[in-house]
Amino acid sequence: MENLLQVILLGIIEGVTEFLPISSTGHLLIAQHWLGRRSDLFTVAIQSGAILAVTLVYWRRLLDMALGFMRPENRDYLLKLFVALMITVVGGLGARLAGVELPESVYPVAAALIIGGFVIFAVESYVSKREPNTAISWGAAAWVGVAQVIAAVFPGTSRSAAALFAAMLAGTTSRPAAAEFAFLLAIPTMFAATAYQFLELYLEGGLATEHWGDLGVAFVVSTIVGFIAVKWLLRYIQSHSYVPFAWYRIALGLLLIAFV
């Protein structure tokens, strides 16, 4: 029973934090510091549960782009998503082959949380001086891909935050437009990461040792909670900035350094 409650709690943490700019990986690492370490497949797969949630949120947009691929605006948008995805995949695979792994200590996560908080302040200050722009440029698409690689290398950065604020700094000053691009890019990115982790575990013969029941429960929980969190965030950013998340990141980072 205790293990089930821990798994549900991890699913809730993932669902809430995946698309908020506060780092889901960082929060999962912090939670696992007390609840016990889970496999890398568990961590990546329950993130895919949250990605399934955003797929459900954006299903009309995805269907429109698929059926209307021949329309120039849809084709242009999909190609920019593809460019960002390729940069993310190549950079992420390179980091993986270089031996980059999730840290055992929470201190790197705390540092990334604090630094990311100050980055949010800077980005919001920059955007506040400019007119809203919903267009995604080729440069923005490229920088979003680079930002996702940085987030993968430094847990605590937040993949969604990195993509969001890279797009905003690159000229997409509309928060909803930047969020849509970042969230749609997360769909193939995280599903690909899960597939890679699954294949790696299969080749190593580790599938038999994975706790599939725990993974399944956490996946379902993160999907449900993620759906609620995304719907809330998309409403929130229509009229609010990301500044409260910056304060949260800094406070959490300082607490981790002080007490963990």
Quick check: 72 pLDDT over 90?
yes
Q: What is the pLDDT of residue 96?
A: 74
DSSP reduced 3-state for 102: coil
Q: What is the pLDDT of residue 5?
A: 86
pLDDT digits (tens, 9 = 90+) for 111-160: 999 999 999 999 999 998 888 899 999 999 999 999 989 888 887 888 88
- Which value, in Å, is the radius of gyration of the alpha carbons in the chain? 18
- C-alpha dihedral, 150 to 156 to 184 to 53, nearest 10°: 150
DSSP reduced 3-state for 122: helix
CA distances from 122 to 97, 118, 125, 174 (A): 33, 6, 5, 16
Top pLDDT among 158 and 85 is at 85
Quick check: 1 pLDDT over 70?
no
- C-alpha dihedral, 224 to 225 to 227 to 232, nearest 10°: 150
Rounded CA-CA distance 182/141 in Å is 9
pLDDT digits (tens, 9 = 90+) for 206-246: 666 677 788 888 899 999 999 999 999 999 999 899 999 99
Q: How many domains does the chain have?
A: 1
The alpha carbon of residue 5 and the mean position of all alpha carbons in its chain are separated, in whole angstroms, by: 24
Q: What is the pLDDT of residue 45?
A: 75
Q: What is the pLDDT of residue 104?
A: 62
Domain residues for 219? Answer: 2-259
> Is the separation of the CB atoms in 135 and 171 below 8 Å?
yes
